[in-house]
Amino acid sequence: MSDLAPLLQRFFTDKLDRHLNASPHTKAAYADTFRLLLTYAQQATGIAPSALTLADLDADLIGGFLQHLETERGNSAATRNARRAALRSFFSYASYRAPDAIATISQVLAIPAKRTKTTLVSFLTAAEAEALIAAPDTGTWLGRRDRLLLHLGIQTGLRVSELTSLRVDSIQIGPHSQLECIGKGRKQRVIPLQKNTVQLLNAWFGELPPVPDGPLFPTHAGTPLTRAAVGKLVTRHAATAAERCPSLTDKNVTPHTLRHTCAMSLLHAGIDTASIALWLGHANIQTTQIYLHADLELKRRTLERVPALDERPPARYKASDALIAFLKNR
């Protein structure tokens, strides 16, 4: 009997569910990783996934799988490292429950992460953001929904999963209107809303069924939008906005670009990075430092304070001999 199948099942039910209480997103990502691995292993060894043993998943096969993700599936090094992290979690769990396979497990755990290139975050200027928000056709129900989604994404900086999980009762309208969401790591946070955002929301509530726990951004069938659907509509409206704002042509606008745009607008307004980290729900303030690197205006202001290499510093004031004599005699 295969020792892999029951061990993998216990990994999900025992470690992820009972001990870690992992989020549905984490479990889905881990399950997707092992689905891809078992499919690759079947193609490489000819053994059905249910018959694979732990010994079959040696370092050579795991290394080949990680390389397959990049060369065949076109995944980035960052995605490869995320898949590797899921595999390491399982093999670490297996090391205590399958001591006979410790040699194979140790070799797999020794596979290093691949170094990745750090790129500057992509964000929209004020003109580009306005063009994107104005792109949907507000003469249609879908256009009004998409316009609110783009506007809310840029004003609040929510992740795409946070946007799609919003419900009607997530919005509180009043003297201090605000939005409540549960973000990454199941952290709850509250974000204040601007007056123009509240106006759009009030108009949108009039077009939704009076169901408090209904999705804020539904499909025609009344179900919440998926992340893939949001990605497609952002791409479509970005292409339309590029006709009005040509600078968008050279940018890859994704749902996460809306989040970066919010962060950069806060930074340009003089908000400190600690407050921006709280606004965005970052677990570590170091994550927010990426926006300082992307802020070209900040670098230009810094450059203005530094004298040019071939420029002499301004001459210091030199007192006349009479003044020096006066001071010496005091």
- On the question of pLDDT at 242 being above 90, the answer is yes
What integer is the mean pLDDT of 20-40?
A: 92
Note the pLDDT tens digit of each residue in 142-200: 999 999 999 999 999 999 999 999 999 999 999 889 999 887 777 888 999 999 999 99
Task: Give me the pLDDT at residue 172, please.
Answer: 93
Name the pTM for this structure. 0.72
* Tokens read off for 154: 């840029």
> Residue 190's CB: how many other CB atoms inside 10 A?
10
- On the question of pLDDT at 248 being above 70, the answer is yes
- The span from the CA of 267 to the CA of 272, in Å, is 7
- The span from the CA of 258 to the CA of 135, in Å, is 14
- On the question of pLDDT at 302 being above 80, the answer is no
CB 168 within 8 A of CB 213: yes
CB 46 within 8 A of CB 40: no
Catalytic machinery residues: 159, 184, 256, 259, 282, 291
- The span from the CA of 163 to the CA of 225, in Å, is 9
Buried/exposed 13-38: b ≥16 CB within 10 Å, e otherwise: eebbeeeeebeeeeeeebeebbebbb
- On the question of pLDDT at 1 being above 60, the answer is no
Q: Which residues contact 179 (CB under 8 A, 6 or more apart)?
A: 152, 156, 166, 170, 171, 172, 190, 191, 192, 193
- On the question of pLDDT at 33 being above 60, the answer is yes
DSSP category for residue 14: I
The SS3 call for residue 255 is helix
Mean pLDDT of the chain: 88
Note the pLDDT tens digit of each residue in 83-107: 999 999 999 999 999 988 999 999 9
AA identity, residue 274: A
pLDDT confidence bin for 296, thresholds 50/70/90: low
CB 311 within 8 A of CB 327: no
AA identity, residue 192: P
- The span from the CA of 233 to the CA of 329, in Å, is 81
With residue 178 as reference, give the H or E element that holds it: strand 178-182
